Amino acid sequence: MRKFVNIFKALADETRFRVLKLLQQRELCVCELMQVLGMSQPRISRH
């Protein structure tokens, strides 16, 4: 049960969810994620 709680917590973060959706479509490097999401490298790397 705890495993599912942790998964749902991770997906509750909008940025993390967006990153996962993008990476599900194709492989992207951090610099590409920065451009697509309009976020800084530290913020992307945090997720």
Helix %, strand %, coil % for the chain, to 5? 80, 0, 20
What pLDDT score was predicted for residue 1? 83
**Number of CB atoms found within 10 A of residue 5's CB:** 9
Distances (CA, A) of 18 to 1, 3, 30, 34, 36: 24, 21, 13, 12, 10
User: Consecutive sets of 10 residues in the chain, 47 residues long: mean pLDDT of each?
Assistant: 85 90 96 96 88
CA distance 47 to 28: 14
What pLDDT score was predicted for residue 42? 95
